[in-house]
């Protein structure tokens, strides 16, 4: 029977294996391009040294995530490819990447919804905001807001809240001051 401590240790061991800087990159490259020779891998992984690539390939091969096949003896040429276990790990890496996309974005672009029956006002406000924000425009007040809220609530229920629901309306009065509501 597996205890919680055993399960936690298994997670620690797995994270230790994939937390090495170049391991996920090597796995991803082999997933995308299939079997590659050492020099092909080195060319496709920008910034990796020959020693670090050698160490990474040895570690991944030793953990049975890669298979090393001798292609020719003279000169010695070897090819690396993912094992079934290595291909299974790619699924976990993709899940980690998706989690990172959702939770680690340090400064997502704010989304602003501009709604007014007057298209000139909508366009004017949009032109002021579009350099720093993602701007959505609508010309039918409550219907547009309800539609946006439904999209927001729907995306949040699936775990992907892209925007915060903030409703701010601003109009210039005849005296030139703005009112917000």
pLDDT digits (tens, 9 = 90+) for 48-94: 999 999 999 999 999 999 999 998 888 888 999 999 999 988 888 88
Which CATH number fits the domain that encloses residue 23?
A: 1.10.10.10
Whether this model's pTM surpasses 0.85: no
- Say yes or no: 70 and 125 in one domain: no
Domain match, 168 and 141 both: yes
The residue out of 103, 137, 161 marking a domain boundary is 103
Residue 37's SS3 state is strand
- What is the average pLDDT value for the chain, to the nearest integer? 78
pLDDT of residue 142: 65
The reported pLDDT for the residue numbered 157 is 47
Range of the domain at 169: 111-180
Which among 107, 126, 104 has a CA at the least distance from the CA of 115?
126
| CA distance linking residue 53 with residue 104, whole number of Å | 27
3 state SS of 70: strand
Do 93 and 31 fall within a single domain? yes
Instruction: Tell me which of 69 and 131 has the higher pLDDT.
Output: 69
Winning range, highest mean pLDDT, from 6-10, 41-45, 153-157, 171-175: 41-45
Where do the DSSP E strands lie in 38-147?
A: 66-72, 77-82, 111-115, 134-138
The residue out of 84, 103, 122 marking a domain boundary is: 103
pLDDT tier at 30, thresholds 50, 70, 90: very high
Percent of residues, the chain, with pLDDT higher than 70: 73
Which is more confident, 12 or 164? 12
- The 8-class DSSP code of residue 72 comes to E
pLDDT at 4 (0 to 100): 75
Token pair for residue 99? 């989690």
Which tens digits make up the pLDDT trace of 32-46?
Answer: 998 999 999 999 999
Which residue has better confidence, 107 or 85? 85
Quick one: which H or E segment has residue 170?
A: strand 170-172
> Considering its fold, how many domains does the chain have in total?
2
Among 103, 135, 168, the domain boundary falls at 103
Q: Is the pLDDT of residue 151 over 70?
A: no
Residue 163: is its pLDDT beyond 80?
no
Same domain, 119 and 97: no
């Amino acid at each position: 029977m597996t205890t919680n401590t055993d399960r936690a240790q298994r997670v620690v061991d797995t994270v230790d294996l994939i937390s090495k800087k170049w391991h996920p990159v090597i796995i991803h490259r082999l997933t995308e391009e299939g079997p590659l020779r050492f020099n092909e891998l080195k060319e496709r992984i920008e910034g990796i040294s020959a020693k670090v690539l050698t160490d990474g390939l040895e570690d991944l091969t030793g953990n049975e995530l890669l298979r090393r096949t001798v292609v020719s003896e003279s000169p010695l040429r070897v090819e690396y490819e993912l094992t079934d276990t290595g291909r299974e790990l790619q699924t976990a890496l993709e899940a980690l990447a998706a989690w990172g996309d959702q939770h680690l974005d340090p400064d997502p672009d704010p989304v602003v919804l501009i709604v007014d029956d007057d298209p000139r006002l909508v366009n004017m406000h949009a032109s002021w905001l579009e350099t720093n924000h993602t701007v959505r425009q609508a010309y039918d007040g409550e219907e547009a807001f309800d539609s946006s809220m439904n999209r927001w609530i729907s995306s949040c229920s699936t775990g992907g809240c892209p925007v915060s629901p903030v409703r701010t309306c601003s109009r210039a009065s005849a005296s030139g001051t703005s009112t917000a509501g």
